[in-house]
A and B are shown apart, each in its own frame.
Chain A
Amino acid sequence: MPIIVNLDVMMAKRKISLKELSEKVGITNSNLSILKNNKAKAIRLSTLEVICRVLDCQPGDILKYEEEQL
């Protein structure tokens, strides 16, 4: 998928662990892991909102569009 999730980059910048973020965001560790590893098919705006609030960033800092190489 050409949408890349840069959650790990933002987490490294904010020095926050997956467990801590999952607790603060209120979603399970495994679901956050799916999102972090680019396995997610979709993301709810409400989830994105909480992640942005916890990490103090913009949606564009987490999601990136990259041209698919054929």
Chain B
Amino acid sequence: MKYLGEKSISHILKIILGIFWYIGWLFFLILIISSIISIYRYKGMLNIIATIGVLVIASSILFIIFQLRNILGTLISKNPFSISNVYRFRNIGFSTLLVGIFILVNDLYFKGLRTFTIFDDSSGLYTNIEIYIPFLLGVFSLILAEIFKIGYQIHEENKLTI
């Protein structure tokens, strides 16, 4: 099983993300139309803030998918250690943190301090960790950006060794 290059897992993943990308745009356009209708129908500051929050989350997710597709493109061409990938991972990190902040604000508003409880329900294995996932992924992505930066420097040095 190949991980990099043509007809590899990276290639399949890029195709799947491509489908997500187009479906995401479709949902995003529907979301924009429904947001405009919602703002006109239910006037109020809270509704506007909530709509902006949803739009920011949706556009961040689309942006993350776009960056991931570009990263996978460099994996297919077997050239992952480029400076643009460093910036892509950094962008993904900050976008994921932004999504996390919006989800946190939303959960704090509706659930209060119950947001931070991991085991929310006594019936079975129900966990409430989705609030932590964007923060963990965001930080992980920022760390990956630094690792790719080191990789890029080593790659450049190797390229300039005659």
Residues of A within 8 A of B (CB): 27, 31-32, 34-35, 39-44, 47
Residue of B156, B157, B161, B162 with highest tally of chain A CB at under 10 A: B162
Chain B residues near A31 (CB, 8 Å)? 162
Chain A residues near B156 (CB, 8 Å)? 41
Q: What are 21 A-B pairs at a CB distance below 8 A? A: A27-B162, A31-B162, A32-B162, A34-B160, A34-B162, A35-B162, A39-B160, A40-B160, A40-B162, A41-B156, A41-B157, A41-B160, A41-B161, A42-B157, A42-B160, A42-B161, A42-B162, A43-B161, A43-B162, A44-B161, A44-B162
B1 nearest CB across to chain A (Å):
34
Main secondary structure, interface of B, reads mixed
Q: Which residue of chain A has the shortest Cβ distance to B161 in the bound complex?
A: A42
User: How far is A27 from B161 in the complex, measured between Cα atoms in Å?
Assistant: 12
* Cross-chain pair count, CB within 8 angstroms: 23
Interface residues of B in 71-128 (CB under 8 A from A): none
Number of residues on chain B facing chain A (CB within 8 A): 5
Q: A42-B160, A44-B162 are in contact. List 9 more A-B contacts (CB 8 A).
A: A34-B160, A34-B162, A39-B160, A41-B156, A41-B160, A41-B161, A42-B157, A42-B162, A47-B162
B15 nearest CB across to chain A (Å):
35
B43 nearest CB across to chain A (Å):
63
For the complex of A and B, list the 6 residue pairs with the smallest distance between their C-beta atoms, beginning with the closest.
A41-B160, A42-B161, A35-B162, A40-B162, A41-B157, A31-B162
Q: Which residue of chain A has the shortest Cβ distance to B159 in the bound complex?
A: A41
Chain B residues near A47 (CB, 8 Å)? 162
B145 nearest CB across to chain A (Å):
23
Chain B residues near A42 (CB, 8 Å)? 157, 160-162
Residue of A31, A40, A41 with highest tally of chain B CB at under 10 A: A41
Chain A residues near B162 (CB, 8 Å)? 27, 31-32, 34-35, 40, 42-44, 47
